[in-house]
């Protein structure tokens, strides 16, 4: 992180300092903040599938924060500057309402626990008809899905130590493709009358072949053709903030590519388990899928 200016220099705003260090995640040049730029943070919604912002106070260096998930301490996204740091925490859809905690390590101050409250949230149910073989899997398809899932878990565990958001104006994201939201995050999904996992992304109905773009500056960390997700691209925005694009008809990037906000990465399709052409867009924070709607302007 760049050194703070000397006392005799007029100090930049907190926002300018944050943006000045958001350049390394995708290896892209920094962009000067505009006074009318949108807020840096995603909208706070402390419910399952939501996001909570936890002030960590002042510190000379960025604190290290973790959230206990299962048997692991998962690193968290921390933004700010020496005057004030904030942990941005994704809340799992399976989280129970009540008090939860993160742990914070600050140089010279040891480790402390910081509580937050998870409120209740009831998501609606959605019934869909899809090809039967995508619900009741054959032994061959089940074996394929198991192999793919193991690989995807490794991808989802990606954590870049550099600041999140890279060279973007803020952590507010650009919608990857124009279109109607055909399915929202968190819906309890029933395929062919059989309950399955909740919907962990936002579906955007768009014409076949429509260009899909990066919602923030990013590094491509995975591409592939998967059983349920079809044509897929994973993007790393830094510090555990990832984007997932599914059902693509074309993938026009490779692992290791760096993208600017709005840069083309593929095309809308109906590959994998899909009822028609659309983009499934997922956002992951600290290995937890959260509502993408919280990251776009209201």
Q: Give the model's pLDDT for residue 268.
A: 97
233 closest CA partner among 255, 217, 211:
255
Q: Give the model's pLDDT for residue 145.
A: 81
Residue linked to tokens 């899809």:
130
The Cα–Cα gap between 55 and 69 comes to: 21
Q: Give the model's pLDDT for residue 19.
A: 34
The Cα–Cα gap between 194 and 295 comes to: 31
Residue 166: how many CB atoms within 10 A of its CB?
A: 29
Across 92-198, the runs of DSSP E, i.e. the strands, are 98-106, 110-118, 125-128, 180-183, 188-191, 194-195
Q: Give the model's pLDDT for residue 116.
A: 97
Q: Tell me which residues of the chain have a pLDDT lower than 70.
A: 1-39, 125-130, 132-137, 162-169, 189-197
């Amino acid at each position: 992180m760049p050194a703070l200016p000397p006392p005799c220099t007029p100090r930049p705003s907190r926002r300018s300092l944050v943006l000045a260090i958001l350049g390394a995640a995708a290896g892209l040049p920094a962009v000067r903040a505009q006074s009318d730029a949108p807020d840096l943070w995603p909208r706070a919604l402390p419910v399952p599938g939501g996001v909570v912002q936890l002030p960590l106070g002042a510190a000379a260096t960025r604190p290290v924060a973790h959230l206990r998930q299962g048997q692991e301490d998962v690193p968290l996204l921390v933004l700010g500057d020496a005057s004030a740091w904030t942990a941005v925490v994704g809340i799992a859809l399976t989280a129970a309402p009540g008090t939860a905690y993160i742990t914070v390590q600050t140089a010279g101050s040891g480790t402390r626990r910081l509580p937050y409250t998870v409120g209740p949230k009831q998501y609606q149910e959605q019934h869909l008809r899809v090809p039967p073989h995508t619900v009741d899997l054959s032994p061959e398809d089940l074996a394929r899905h198991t192999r793919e899932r193991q690989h995807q878990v490794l991808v989802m565990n990606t954590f870049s130590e550099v600041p999140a958001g890279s060279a973007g104006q803020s952590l507010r994201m650009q919608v990857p493709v124009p279109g109607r939201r055909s399915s929202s995050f968190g819906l309890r999904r029933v395929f062919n009358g059989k309950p399955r996992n909740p919907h962990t992304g936002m579906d955007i109905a768009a014409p076949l072949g429509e260009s899909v773009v990066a919602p923030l500056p990013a590094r491509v960390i995975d591409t592939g053709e998967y059983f349920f997700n079809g044509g897929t691209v994973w993007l790393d925005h830094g510090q555990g903030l990832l984007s997932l694009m599914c059902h693509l008809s074309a993938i026009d990037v490779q692992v290791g590519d760096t993208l600017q906000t709005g840069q083309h990465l593929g095309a809308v399709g109906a590959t994998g388990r899909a009822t028609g052409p659309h983009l499934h867009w997922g956002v992951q924070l600290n290995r937890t899928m959260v509502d993408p709607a919280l990251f776009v302007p209201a």
